[in-house]
Structure 1
Amino acid sequence: MESATTAGRTPGTDEIAEMFDESSDMSNVFNDGQVHLAYWYGEEDEAPLIEAAQRLTRKVADSLWLREGDQVLDVGCGLGAPAIQLATEYGVRVTGVNISTRQVAEARARVRAAGLAGQVTFRVGDYGALDFPEGAFDAVVAMESLVYVDDLGRTLAGLYRAMRPGGLLSLTEPTREGLGAEEAGRFAAGFGARRMLSVAEWLQTLREAGFEPAEYLQCGPRVFGMGPKYLHAVDTRREELAGRFGEVAVDGLRQTLEDFFAPGADRIGYAVITVRKPGN
C-alpha cells in the first residue's frame, strides 16, 4: 500500500513509478521488502508485521500449488522480498517486473545478498505491456499491483498470453464491500490506484479475459481489519525509523496508515483470487 502523490486525481504511470521510488527506502526498512499488506489471525496474534506479511505471501503461493522448478512471474514485484521468499521456500524460479527503477535496484541487491541471482531476476518495465514469450510461465503473482494499471483488460490479456495452458494466476487486492463504486473510486485514488473492485467484479473481469475461477478467499477482517496492528508497528519502531528518516517522515507514514485503514473491514475487504488459464 502506497500513498498517492497527487491529491484529487489518479496519477499517471510516471507518477506512480515516482511514488514507489520515493517510498522504497522506508518500505525497505519498515516492511523488510514485503510491500503488500499483512495477515493476522486475530487481535491476540502478536506476530510482527514482517512475519504477518510473509503469511500472506504463503497464502498466495499455496493457492498457486507451486512446485519446485516452476517458472513464476511476479508483476509489480516491489522490493523483491516476496519473490525471494517464493524461491527459497518453494524452489521456484521467479521473474519480477516493476515500473520503479529504485525498487528494482533494491530488489536486485536483495537477491545478490540471498545468493539467488541465478534463480530470481528482476526487470524494469510496465507490466501492462509485457513482451514475454507465449506460455513462458507456470504461474503469475500479482499482489496489490493490478489496481495501478491503466488498461486492465490489456494487462490481463498480456498475462493470459504469457501463461502456459493450465497455469494459475493469483491476485490480492483490497475490495469494496460496503462502499459504492464512486466512493470506492475516490478511496482508491487516495493511494494512487485506478480502481477498487468487489470480488464479484474481479471475477467477472477475469472471466472476460478468458480465465476460469479456481479459488477466492475474502480475508478482509484478518488483513484490512487489523489497522491498529500497523499503527502499533510504527509506534514500536518509531525511534529506529526516526533515526533513519526523521520524525516528519515517520509521522507521515503513521498518518497515511491511519487514513488508509479508517473505513474499517465492514466497508473494505481484502481478497486472494486465483484463476486458471484453460488447457492442460
Structure 2
Amino acid sequence: MGADGRVNERIENYTKFWEKDSAKDTETERDNRLNNYTDVINGYYDGATELYEYGWAQSFHFSRFYKGEAFLQSLARHEHYLAAQMNLKPGMLVLDVGCGVGGPAREIARFADVRIIGLNNNDFQIARARKYTKRAGLEEQVSFQKGDFMKLSEIFGEAKFDAVYAIEATCHAPSFEGVYGEIMKVLKPGGTFGVYEWVMTPQWNPSIPSHKAIAHGIEVGDGIPEMRPQSACIDALKTVGFEIKHEEDLADRPDEVPWYYPLEGDVSKAQTFWDYFTVWRMSWSGKIVTQSTVKVLEWIGVAPKGTYDVGEALKVAADALVAGGRQKLFTPMFLVISNKPTSS
C-alpha cells in the first residue's frame, strides 16, 4: 500500500474483472466480480477518485438540472432534496453509506444540521474526506469510518442511527438484500433510509444485445459487479422488512436539461459560463488532454500504474451512461424513501 492508501496492484488488475465484449461476459465473470467486490470497488476508486474530483468536484453523483442552473448548485440541490424527503432534523445521527470523499456528507450536515458518519472501505478516499472536512471546519459534525457496508452491524452495532442514506453507492454491493439488510440492522426502530439507486429501468431488456451492452459498459466503467433492474431494488427493500413510503425515478421527470448533459461533452449546452470547463472535460479534445496528461503522470511515477486504464474505462462508462439515459434504459437517481418498522 502506498503512503496515500492506494494499492497499485488493485488499480492495475481492475479491468481484468470484465470481458471487453459484453456477449462474452458470462456468469462466471459476474460471479468472480461479486465474490471479489471489495477488490473491484477499491481498484476502481484508487484509480478513479482524482479523475472524479477533476471532472466532478467532491460529490460523486448525478443530479437533475433546471434551465440555467450551475453544475455545483445542481449537485447541492440534489443532496438537499434527499435530506428533505427523509425529513432529517437537527441533532439526528445519520450514516452515509459509501461516502466517497465526503462532499454530500458535508453539504447535508450544513443543510439539515445533523451529525453524519461517513462509511467508506477505501483508505485513499477516507484520507481525502478527512482533509476536506477539516478544511471546512466540520470535524465536530462530520466524521468517517473505514469499513465494509456489508458488515455495518459488526462495525456500529444495532439500532444506532436515526437515519441512513446512500447516494449512488449501494449499486456496488454484491447484493441489494445484503446491504439493505445491514442498513436495517443499524437503524433505530422508526428510522428512515433514503437512497438514490443506480438501476436499469423497466424498459431495459437484457436479452436485447444493445441493452446488455449498455449495462456492461456501465459496469466496466463504474466499478459495478452487476447492474440490476429497478424491481430488484424494491423487492430487496421489502424482503429485508422496510416499509416503502415513496419511490420515484427522478430521471423520468420531463426536464428540459437531461441529467447526463455534462457527459455529452457538448460545450454549447453548458448552463453557466463556469460550467464550460466541466463540460469540455468530457468532449473529445478534453478526453485527449486528460488521458495524455494521465499517461505522462503514470510514466514519471506521479500517478499509480493502471490509472490510465481506469480513465479509459471511465470513457466507456460515459458513453454507456449517455446511451442509457437517452433511451431511458438506465437511471442513476431511482429515489426510494423507506422506514424501519417501529416494532417487529
Normalised-by-shorter TM-score class: 0.7 to 0.9
Structure with higher helix content: 2
TM-score normalized by structure 1? 0.86
Contact 2:97–2:169, Cα closer than 8 Å, also in 1: yes
Counterpart secondary structure, 2:157: coil
Q: Deviations over 1:148-199 (max 9, x none)?
A: 1124323222211100111110111232222124637635533321333343
Q: Taking structure 1 as reference, are residues 123 and 205 closer, same or farther at Cα in structure 2, changes over 3 Å only? A: same
Q: Distance in 2 between matches of 1:132 and 1:237?
A: 40
* Matched residue type, 1:235: W
Match of 1:231 among 252, 257, 264: 264
Aligned residues: 274
TM-score normalized by structure 2? 0.71
How far did 1:245 drift? 7.7
Q: How does 1:47-126 map to 2 (within 5 A)?
A: 47-126=69-148
Contact 1:26–1:245, Cα closer than 8 Å, also in 2: no
Structure 1 partner of 2:323: 262
Matched, 1:171 2:198: no
Contact 1:188–1:195, Cα closer than 8 Å, also in 2: no
Larger Rg: 2
How far did 1:122 drift? 0.7
Q: Which runs of 5+ in 2 are unaligned?
A: 1-13, 20-28, 266-277, 296-307
Q: How does 1:137-216 map to 2 (within 5 A)?
A: 137-177=161-201, 178-181=203-206, 183=212, 186-190=216-220, 191-216=222-247
Q: How does 1:35-54 map to 2 (within 5 A)?
A: 35-41=60-66, 45-54=67-76
Q: Deviations over 1:196-231 (max 9, x none)?
A: 334333112101001000111211246994323333
* Matched residue type, 1:7: W
Q: Taking structure 1 as reference, are residues 247 and 262 closer, same or farther at Cα in structure 2, changes over 3 Å only? A: farther
Structure 2 partner of 1:271: 334
Structure 1 partner of 2:160: 136
Structure 1 partner of 2:301: none
Contact 1:49–1:230, Cα closer than 8 Å, also in 2: no
How far did 1:86 drift? 0.8
Counterpart secondary structure, 2:226: coil
Counterpart secondary structure, 1:196: coil
Contact 1:225–1:265, Cα closer than 8 Å, also in 2: no
Identity of matched residues, %: 23
Counterpart secondary structure, 1:140: strand
Contact 1:227–1:258, Cα closer than 8 Å, also in 2: no
